[in-house]
Chains A and B, each alone.
Chain A
Amino acid sequence: MTEAIATLKARKPRMSAEGRLLHMTALVVPLVGLAIFFLYPLAIIVQRSFVQRDGALGLGNYRDVFGMGHIGRVVQNSLVMSGLTTLICVVLGFAIAYALQRTRLPYRRLISVALLLPLLAPSLVQALGLIFLFGRNGLISQATGWNLQIYGLWGLVISNTMYALPQAVMIIQAALRHSDSRQYDAAMVLGASPWRQFVDITLPKARFGLLSAGFVCFTVTITDFGNAAVIGGNYRVLATEIYAQVVGQMNFNMGAVVGIFLLIPTLLAFYLEKVAARRETGGGSESAVPVTPTRSAARDLPLGLVAFAAALFIVAVVGTVVYASFVSLWPYRLDLTLRNYNITAQGGYAPLWTSLVVSAQAAVIGTALLFALVVAQRRLTGGAAKAVYLLAIVPVGVPGLVLGLSYVLSFNVAHPLLGMVYGTTFLIALCNFYHYHSQGFLTMVTGIRTVPPALEETVTCMGGSSLHGMRDAILPVMLPTLVAVFFFLFMRSMVTLSAVIFLITPRLSVGAVSVLRLDQAGFTTQAAAFSVCIMGVVLAAMGLMKLALHLLSRRPEAASSARKLEVTD
């Protein structure tokens, strides 16, 4: 068998006509989606950035932006803030992902659940939670009399770390999920210490995942506006600048220029792609024997401390929000009440159900398109592979505010086809999906790198079609990653705000907007209550979906996939 595979590997994979068709479809459909719902809106923003005040085309806006006295400081602030956040997230994210994937730390599940919380709490409310806890009149200041200073760089780094860390862990986990214990066995026989094994085997294999995670952390925090607005204090960043230009001064075209600035960090993707294209040594071998996590006190104790400390911090912040949602007047009257759950904002709880519809669409469409794209991209070589890769990664550099407005500019048109989706849940779902496209893509790419190519070729060779190859070889191995991406898209779509605010209509609003409205109108505890409802609904929906998945995997035709899953997981 091994020999057969070895010869197969040597030969160039031949594709049947059906295989080619499948491959083309898997490639073209996601690319068309990207072209219409990402590239086209982006092109409109680029065009806007060249429209000067006098209406002529030119570089005037760019000159104006460079001419702003404070722009240098703002750029520097953004770089420092995102750099620090990225460093913390990658180090912490790796420790946590390692603890989850490679150790037998007790109660690992709790850490996983805690890490979901920042993804499913609206960032506005999470920032409020931080203020309720660490603010000048927060619980800790009140209890200790300390004068904590949460507003500014550190508050921003903490809140952005909460936002980016779960995304980092998701990607790094995909990198650590599959491993070959034979390499570790060999190293042990050769007398390598556990530390050497870690440095020489584990780290190099996780390198791509770490780089991807760092890239994502940097770009999502440099473009994020929500935390900067609530907790950033006087620490101005580029995302605040876009808001000031577009929303504060109704200066679209200047905002577009700053938005394009924010695309610069995505150029790092070129480097990332180079690493991705490099073949991993000994990675993803078809006969890999998965590593069985062992116990090691010297390693697990510090790892466990770090992971649980991070989880505890997150739980404390979100827990404060939950607590505040039951309090009659935060922080002055702390008697418990259910009154905050009687939502008085426009539409009551109806927007919450709309959010569910939107999020389900975003998650289903998104996961399918991303999977197809990742599988198809894997077969490409050279320039084409590079181009697809870069295109899939750029969306992360576009701030939500810019994306939302670009959608209005692109799809609020009289054109019968393009204009048809404006004002629908479908468009909001697509906007949310493309907003988080890159994170999903990078997670899947990281995951699929560990699928041995020979595996699918074997299936094809043994008489199965490419479709079978996908179903029997790739899908089972990828399933945990697919589920992770599905839930990621679902959760973010439930709470993301900055783009959606421009796409709601009088009859179609979403939960995150209700939270914003309640907070703006001073109903802070009601805003917290609404967020708790969102979190509850998401957790319940995820529980149901996990249950369905579990039941599905026990059906006979899926049993083989389930078995494979157990082996590799």
Chain B
Amino acid sequence: MPKHLAPMTATLALSAFLAAPALAGEITVYSSLEDEEIAAYLEVAQREMPDLTVNVLRLSTGDMGARLIAEAANPQADVLWGFAVTNILNPQIYDLLEPYEAEGVDQLDAQYRDGDGRWFAPIGYMGAFCVNTMRLEQIGAEMPRSWSDLTDPAFEGEVVMPDPGSSGTGYLQIAAILQGMGEEEGWQLIQDLDANMAQYTTSGSRPCRMAQVGEYTVGASLSYVAMQGIDQGYPLEMVIPEDYAGYELEGNGLIRGSDNQEEAQRFLDWTLSESAAQVYSEHKAVVTLPGVPRSPLADQAGLPEDLSDVLFQMDFAASGEARDAIISRWRELVGR
């Protein structure tokens, strides 16, 4: 955790009976990035903008979405940072954002930013399997490389994935399959997978957490979730499915009605700066900013030089609109 935050949090936590209004040179940022990432990015940001204090509230994507909508009448944050673009496209969140042409946003491909300037996404993450190598050996199955591999009867009752109705990660996974294979074949694959699926979890990270302690062999989750488990030393291997990995962009935007617009914009500009790009490359498998050195994570994951080979074009807007229909059809199909 960022060391400079600790004493501040401690004193404020004990005395904060009343919320102090944000001072000039101070912004409130809502983020769903991982704690470790936030700490690493802020360290650099602090060096470059020593006069700016950034207070970050970190919640998982789902909890953050609910919180943003509940606070909509009186937004508390100045900046939304690293929030799933699929969720940003929900009108309830999209309407909270104010168009802002951040400095350097034009380096991004059109698909990585909003036409109206409400969000831009310099980074993202991918769907990935967490495979417990010890359990894999026990059940005597081959290392799965794709979703189709997971339909092998050897994996019966050994696979866990998130429920697309409860978790953005789960939705990302089935949306990728459906968009990639087309409706008919896609639904067939989802049905075949269901035969091996031990359970559909509520949270997107839970499948990987289950696989890492050996409860199940394969947990379908996200690239960074898998990396966290591997870092801890668990007998895990991360597999980016060869067929339909699916990915999610992490968007940044300016919250409407912010009292600290100038500072907030400065921070947003920074998220597109060269120094930010540098530190993204140390933490992210998916960086959409051009000219960024390839991340060691991408190497570890065995990603090809050109990410667009595995990241087939996701249509986020379409995926957002079709969401309700896909989820109800999915629930009917799996019956769980």
- A residues contacting B by CB (< 8 A) are 68-70, 131-132, 135-137, 151, 228-230, 233-234, 236, 240, 243-244, 246-250, 252, 329-333, 344-348, 350-351, 353-354, 357, 405, 408-409, 412-414, 419-420, 422-426, 501-502, 504-509, 517, 519-524
Task: State whether B225 touches A522 (Cβ < 8 A).
Answer: yes
Interface contacts (Cβ under 8 Å), in number, total 191
Please, what's the 1-or-0 string for B1-41, where 1 marks a CB less than 8 Å from any CB in chain A? 11001101110111011110000000011000011101100
Task: State whether B209 touches A252 (Cβ < 8 A).
Answer: no
Most chain B C-beta atoms within 10 Å of own C-beta, residue among A333, A412, A506, A509:
A506
B223 within 8 A of A: no
Chain B contacts for A424, CB-based, 8 A: 16-19
Task: State whether B71 touches A412 (Cβ < 8 A).
Answer: yes
Chain A contacts for B58, CB-based, 8 A: 346, 517
Task: State whether A508 touches B12 (Cβ < 8 A).
Answer: yes
Binds A, one of B98-106, B113-121, B199-207, B265-273: B199-207
B70 within 8 A of A: yes
Binds A, one of B164-172, B281-289, B303-311: B164-172
Task: State whether B166 touches A234 (Cβ < 8 A).
Answer: no
Task: State whether A357 touches B14 (Cβ < 8 A).
Answer: yes
Closest to A236 in B: B336
Chain B contacts for A412, CB-based, 8 A: 70-71, 73-74, 76
Task: State whether B215 touches A501 (Cβ < 8 A).
Answer: no
Task: State whether B63 touches A332 (Cβ < 8 A).
Answer: no
Closest to B235 in A: A332
Task: State whether A234 touches B167 (Cβ < 8 A).
Answer: no
Closest to A67 in B: B328
Chain B contacts for A423, CB-based, 8 A: 16, 19, 76
Task: State whether B213 touches A524 (Cβ < 8 A).
Answer: yes
Task: State whether B13 touches A354 (Cβ < 8 A).
Answer: yes
Contact of A507 among B12, B35, B87, B208 (CB under 8 A): B12
The CA of A240 and the CA of B205, in the complex, are separated in Å by 16
Task: State whether A250 touches B203 (Cβ < 8 A).
Answer: no
Task: State whether B9 touches A507 (Cβ < 8 A).
Answer: yes
Task: State whether A248 touches B165 (Cβ < 8 A).
Answer: yes
Task: State whether B166 touches A248 (Cβ < 8 A).
Answer: yes
Contact of B55 among A345, A425, A501, A507 (CB under 8 A): A507
Closest to B6 in A: A348
B163 within 8 A of A: yes
Task: State whether B135 touches A502 (Cβ < 8 A).
Answer: no
The CA of A333 and the CA of B213, in the complex, are separated in Å by 11
B67 within 8 A of A: yes
Q: How far apart are B94's CB and chain A's nearest CB, in angstroms?
A: 11
The CA of A161 and the CA of B167, in the complex, are separated in Å by 27
Chain B contacts for A250, CB-based, 8 A: 65-66, 69, 87, 90, 92-93
Task: State whether B234 touches A329 (Cβ < 8 A).
Answer: yes
Chain B contacts for A425, CB-based, 8 A: 13, 16-17
The CA of A362 and the CA of B6, in the complex, are separated in Å by 25
Task: State whether A151 touches B328 (Cβ < 8 A).
Answer: no
Task: State whether B9 touches A131 (Cβ < 8 A).
Answer: no
Task: State whether A354 touches B66 (Cβ < 8 A).
Answer: no
B150 within 8 A of A: no
Chain A contacts for B69, CB-based, 8 A: 250, 252
Closest to A419 in B: B74
Task: State whether A520 touches B205 (Cβ < 8 A).
Answer: yes
The CA of A351 and the CA of B35, in the complex, are separated in Å by 15
B327 within 8 A of A: yes
Q: How far apart are B133's CB and chain A's nearest CB, in angstroms?
A: 11
Task: State whether A247 touches B13 (Cβ < 8 A).
Answer: no
B290 within 8 A of A: no
Chain A contacts for B166, CB-based, 8 A: 240, 243-244, 247-248
The CA of A519 and the CA of B58, in the complex, are separated in Å by 14
Closest to A516 in B: B60
Contact of B165 among A249, A329, A344, A522 (CB under 8 A): A249
Task: State whether B203 touches A520 (Cβ < 8 A).
Answer: yes
Closest to A331 in B: B213
Apart from A347-B10, A505-B76, what 20 extra A-B contacts exist at CB < 8 Å? A69-B331, A229-B202, A234-B199, A244-B163, A247-B66, A250-B90, A252-B70, A330-B213, A353-B13, A412-B73, A413-B73, A414-B74, A424-B18, A424-B19, A502-B70, A508-B16, A520-B203, A521-B35, A521-B205, A522-B229
B332 within 8 A of A: yes
Q: How far apart are B18's CB and chain A's nearest CB, in angstroms?
A: 6
The CA of A501 and the CA of B38, in the complex, are separated in Å by 19
The CA of A561 and the CA of B4, in the complex, are separated in Å by 51
The CA of A357 and the CA of B67, in the complex, are separated in Å by 24
The CA of A353 and the CA of B13, in the complex, are separated in Å by 8
The CA of A135 and the CA of B213, in the complex, are separated in Å by 10
Q: How far apart are B93's CB and chain A's nearest CB, in angstroms?
A: 7
Chain B contacts for A350, CB-based, 8 A: 6, 9-10, 13
The CA of A132 and the CA of B134, in the complex, are separated in Å by 17
Interface pairs (28), CB distance under 8 Å: A69-B328, A69-B332, A132-B213, A229-B206, A233-B199, A248-B163, A248-B166, A250-B65, A250-B90, A250-B92, A252-B69, A329-B233, A347-B1, A351-B9, A354-B13, A405-B66, A408-B67, A409-B73, A412-B70, A412-B71, A423-B16, A425-B13, A425-B16, A501-B63, A505-B76, A506-B29, A507-B13, A522-B232
